[in-house]
Structure 1
Amino acid sequence: MNIVLLLCVIILAGFEAEALYYDYSATIECLAHPQKPLYNGGIIENPELNDGLKAWIQVSEADVPVIAMVKTTKEYKFSGAIDAKPNCWSMLKGGFTADTTEVVELYFQSNTTSVEIWIDNISLQPFTEKEWSSHQEQTIEKARKRKVVFQALDEQGNPLQNASVNVTMNKLGFPFGSSINKNILSNNAYHYWFASRFTVTTFEDEMKWYTNEYAPGKENYFEADAMLRYAKKHGIFVRGHNVIWDDSRYQPNWVSALSPSQLNVAVQRRVNSIVQRYKGQLIGWDVVNENLHFSFFESKLGQDFSARMYNQVHNIDPRTTLFLNDYNTIEESRDGVSSPSRYIQKIRQIQSSNRQLPLAIGLESHFPSSPPNLPYMRASLDILRSAGFPIWITELDVASQPNQAGYFEQVLREAHSHPGIRGIVMWTAWSPHGCYRMCLTDNNFKNLPTGDVVDKLLKEWGKTTISTMTDKYGFLETSLFHGEYEVEISHPVKKNLTFTHKIQVLPKDESKKTRQFIKLSV
C-alpha cells in the first residue's frame, strides 16, 4: 500500500522581502492527481520532483499519520500533520516561525513502517511579519467590513452639503465574548464591565450535567436560568455548554456506578431535560464535548453514541447549531488526536447518520505558554474551512507566562482575521478566587494587560466614533465593520438641525453588492 502526500509549509520569517499574497486554499480530500505546489514551490528546490531526487534524500519507509518537522541546529520544529489516505494524494498544510537564518532539514515522519510514503509538489513559502499583518488586514477588509455610502437629505429631499456626521458603533456584528459564571449574578461591577463589551457568552459550569443534576432526578437550573435572563436583557447570545461531556473525570459523581442500561436511562433524562428547557434560546450546543479525546459513553453505550446524541438534540431543538467541541486542533498539538484532518473525519462521521444535521466546528484553543505557531494555526484553519462547516473559537486563552498578553493578542488577531471564523469566545470567566488560566480584570474590575488587549482590539474592530463630512451632493463613503451604529448629523449653517439615526451594517447579501447605500433624511 502506498501513501502519497502533498505538502505546503508556511514560514513566518523575520526578514524583509517583496510583498507576497497568502493562499488560504486547502483540502483533505483524496486527489487522483497531485495539485500544483502553492507559490510554485516557494523556496523549495525541485518542488515537483521533476528533476529526480535532486536536493532530496530517500529515507526508510513510513506510515500514516505523517508529521512534517523542520530540524534546525537547536531543535525540531513541528510544522504540520495529516492522516494520509492510501492510493490517492493527500495534502499536508502547516507552517512554523523561523527565528534563525541557517540551512535546515525538512523531515516527514510517522510511527510505523508498514507503508511507503511518496511526496510530491512541495511548497515552502516565507512571509515577513509585515506581510503577515498585511494578510490579516486584507482579509478583514473583505470578511469583516463593508463599504457604506450615506446620503444626507433635508426635509425637502435636498442634499445636505458639508454636514458633520458622527458614526458610532453600538454593537459589534462579529460575535465576540467571554465565558461567565454565577459570580456575575451578584456583582454589579462585573455586570457593567461585561455587558459593555461582549455580544456572546458561554456559561463556565452552570449548564454542565454535574451542576444540573447533583443527584439522580434532583435538578438545579437556578444559576443557569438567572444567567440566561441576564444575557437576554443585554442582548448577549449564549452557547450551550454542554449537553454531555465524554471525559470520565467530569461526570456527576453518581454516574460511575450505573450499569449500561441505567446509564442510558440517565443520559436520556439529561438530554431531554436540558435541551427541552433551553430549546430555541441558544445559538449553539456543545453536544458530546471533547469526544475526539475521550469516549466514556461510547465505551459503555456503543460506538454510535455520539451520532445518536446529535440526532436526538437536533430532533428536540432543530434550529440550533450543533458543535463538535474539542482542543489541540490549532494549538500545535503533536498527539494527533484532534488534528484538523481527524477533526473533519469525526464531524463527517457524525454527519453521515443525518446529512441535515446543522453541524459546526468548535475549537477550544487553550494555547500553551510558548509563542503561538501562527503559521500552523492559519494552515489548520484553512484545512478545517475546506470542509464547509461554520468554525468558532469557543474557549480561547493562553497559559500564564511573562508575555501572556502579547501572545494573547497575536492569537486573537489571527483568529479574527481568518475568513473561516464565525465567532470568538474567550475562556476568561472572572472569579474572586482566580480564573481558569487567564483573567482580563482584577477583583476591582480594572483591566489587566490582557483586558487592555481586548479593549484595544474592540476599538480597532469598530467600537469607536468616526467623524467626517458630506460632499456637495450630501454623500459620504466609508468602510465600516459589520454591526449596529448610531449616526448623528448636524449642519454648520442650520444650527438647530441635528438628527440621530440608527443603522445596521450587514455582510454582503446574496446579490454580492459591495456597497451598502443608506439615505438619511433630516
Structure 2
Amino acid sequence: MVIAEHGCWSLLKGGIVANFSTAVEILFESKNTKVEIWVDNVSLQPFTKKQWKAHQDISIDKVRKSEVRFQVTQANKTAMQGAIVSIKQFKSEFPFGCGMNHIILKSTDYQNWFASRFKFTTFTNEMKWYSTEKKQGQENYTVPDAMVKFAKQNGISIREFYSTAYQLDPNAIMFMNEYNTIEYSEDQTVSAANYKKKLEEILQYPGNDRILAGIGLQGRFGSGQPNLAYMRSSLDILGATGVPIWLTEVNVDKDPDQAQYLEEILREGYSHPAVQGIVMFAGPEIAGFKVMPLADTNFQSTPAGDVVDMLLGEWKCSETLEFTADDKGFVDVLLFHGDYNVTVQHTEANSSTTLGLRVTKDIPQATIDVQIHT
C-alpha cells in the first residue's frame, strides 16, 4: 500500500512479492467519494530473484567500491611494465555490526567470537536508564563502562540510544529510530512518507536546524518472505532526504527459511546507496539471542551465522589481490571502500615499495603514483 498526497501529482512507487503466477489488479482507493483520482503512466514490471540480485550486485559495485589506478614507474618516470601490485584490505569502511550484552564480560569465547568479526555494536540494554539506574537516584555504570573498555581495546565503535552523547559532542548524529517502516507495508502510521514528514517537522522546530540528523530503521522482520520491493521503495523515499540511513536492529523471526530471508534483507540494505550502516539484533545463543542466534552454545555457527560470515567475507577483499602493470605501468582495480596495505615490486628491482591506502566514496577514482628504485 502506498499513499498519494492531496492536490498534486504524486509518484507512487511500491512492490509486491509473489511465489505464484496469476492475474493482477491495481486498485486506487479513496475514503472521500467526492475526490477524483487521476492516474497517469502506470507500469508493473516483473523481476526474478536472479534479476533482483544482479541489480543489487551492480549497485554494490557502484556505491560500495571505487576505481583505483596505480602507475608504477622508475625514478626517471619510465614505466615499469610487469610490476606486481599486491593489495590487502585490513579494514572495511562500511559499518556492519552486531548487538552486544553484558554476558560478553563473563565469556572469553563470546569476546573472541565478537572481536574476530565485528567493529561496530549496539549494547542491547546496558546503557538504558533502567539498567544504569535500577533504583531512582542510584546510578551504576560499572557494567557499561566495562563493555566500553572491551570495545575500545578491540577497535569496536559503539552506537547507542541516548541524547547525552549529543550534548557532549554536537557532531554526533541524532537518529530518529522507528520500526515497521521497511518491514511491514500495512502499518501506514510509520510509512516512509509519514516518517519523512515527522522528521521534517522535527528539523523545522526552532533551534533544531543545526542538528545532524540520522534515520534509524530497526528492521525487525517477521517470519515469512520479506517484501524487498516495499523495503526498497521505502529506502528510496527516505534516501531522497539526503539524511544518512542506518538499519539499527536487524533480525528475522524464527522460520525454516530464516537464514535465506536474512541474507536477502542484508543484501538489500547493503546495496542501497542511502544506507550507511547496518547493526543486527543478534548474537550467540549463550547471550540470550534466542530469536536469531548466530552461534550455538558451543559457538558453532548457525545457518544465520553462516550467512553473516559469508557476507563479512564477500563485502571486503578477504584475500591478497595481485595485479600486473601493463606496458605503461598502469594497474586499474575496483576496490571496496576501506583501508589497505599495498606492496609493489618488480623482478628487475632490488627493492619493493609498501604504502597504506584508504579508498573512500568521496573519491570516485584515484590515481596512485608509485616509484621503484632499480
- The two structures have a TM-score, normalised by structure 1, of 0.66
Any residues of structure 2 matched to 1:232-247 within 5 Å, and which?
232-240=152-160, 242-243=161-162
Offset of 1:374 from its aligned partner?
0.9
- Aligned-pair Cα RMSD in Å: 2.2
1:344 matches 2:196: yes
| Equivalences for residues 273-422 of structure 1 within 5 A | 275=164, 279=165, 314-353=166-205, 354-422=208-276
| CA–CA distance in structure 2, aligned partners of residues 428 and 399 of structure 1 | 11
| Kept in 1: contact 2:176–2:214 (CA 8 A) | yes
User: Does the C-alpha gap of structure 1 residues 321 and 516 become closer, same or farther in structure 2, counting only changes over 3 Å?
Assistant: same
Q: Identify the residue that residue 458 of structure 1 maps to in structure 2.
A: 312
Matches within 5 A, 1:502-521: 502-509=356-363, 514-521=364-371
Per-residue displacement from partner, 1:394-427 (whole Å, max 9, x unpaired)? 1111111111111111111111001111111111
2:56 to 122, 126, 136: 136
Counterpart among 67, 70, 80 of residue 147 in structure 1: 67
| Residue from 480, 483, 496 that aligns with 2:338 | 483
- Give the letter for the 2:324 counterpart: M
Runs of 4+ aligned residues of structure 1 deviating over 6 Å after TM superposition are: none
Q: Answer with 418-427 or 452-461: which moved more.
A: 452-461
- The alpha-carbon deviation at position 208 of structure 1 amounts to 0.8
Matched, 1:81 2:2: yes
Alpha-carbon spacing, 1:467–1:432, altered in 2? closer, same or farther (3 Å): same
User: 1:433 and 1:145 mapped to 2: Cα distance?
Assistant: 35
Unaligned runs of 5+ in 2: none
> What is the identity percentage for the equivalent residue pairs of Structure 1 and Structure 2?
42
Give the conservation status (yes or no) of the 8 Å contact 1:442–1:448. yes
**Greater fraction strand:** 1
Structure 1 residue 462: Cα displacement? 1.6
Secondary structure of 2:361's counterpart equals coil
Counterpart contact for 1:145–1:507, Cα < 8 Å: yes
Paired AA for residue 37 in structure 2: W
Whether 2:344 is the aligned partner of 1:423: answer no
Aligned position for 1:211: 131
For the residues of structure 2 that align with 1:464 and 1:340, how far apart are their CA atoms?
36
In 1, the alpha carbon distance for the partners of 2:307 and 2:63 equals 22
Q: Which residue of 2 aligns with 1:180?
A: 100
Equivalent-residue separation in structure 1 for 2:34 and 2:159 (angstroms): 43
Distance 1:436 1:384, change over 3 A: farther
Query: Secondary structure at 2:44's aligned position in 1?
Result: strand
Say which SS state the counterpart of residue 116 (structure 1) adopts: coil
1:169 matched to 2:89? The reply is yes
1:89-121 superposed Cα distances (whole Å, 9 cap, x missing partner): 3333210123333222222346x4465251412
Bigger RCO (CA 8 Å, 6+ sep): 2
Which residue does the alignment assign to 1:293? none
How much has 1:315 moved relative to structure 2? 4.8
Q: Find the counterpart in structure 1 of residue 301 from structure 2.
A: 447
Find the residue that maps to 1:105 and give its secondary structure. coil
Query: Counterparts of 1:153 and 1:185 in 2: how far apart (Å)?
Result: 52
- Which whole-Å CA distance do the structure 2 matches of 1:159 and 1:508 have between them? 28
Give 1:360 shift: 1.0
- 1:433/1:476 CA distance change after superposition, 3 Å: closer
Q: Which range is displaced more, 176-185 or 466-475? A: 466-475
Structure 2 contact 225–261 (Cα < 8 Å) conserved: yes
Give structure 1 stretches of 5+ with no counterpart.
Answer: 1-79, 244-270, 280-313
**1:268-326 deviation line (CA, Å, top 9, x unaligned):** xxx6xxx1xxx4xxxxxxxxxxxxxxxxxxxxxxxxxxxxxxxxxx5553111000111
Matches of 1:156 and 1:181, distance apart in 2: 58
- Could you tell me how far apart the structure 1 residues matched to 2:38 and 2:294 are? 46
Aligned 8 A contact 1:171 1:463 in 2: no
Aligned length: 368
The change in CA–CA distance for 1:508 and 1:317 in structure 2 (over 3 A counts) is closer
Task: Report the Cα distance in structure 2 between the residues aligned to 1:457 and 1:204, rounded to whole angstroms.
Answer: 23
Tell me, in whole angstroms, the C-alpha distance in 1 between the residues paired with 2:302 and 2:22.
39
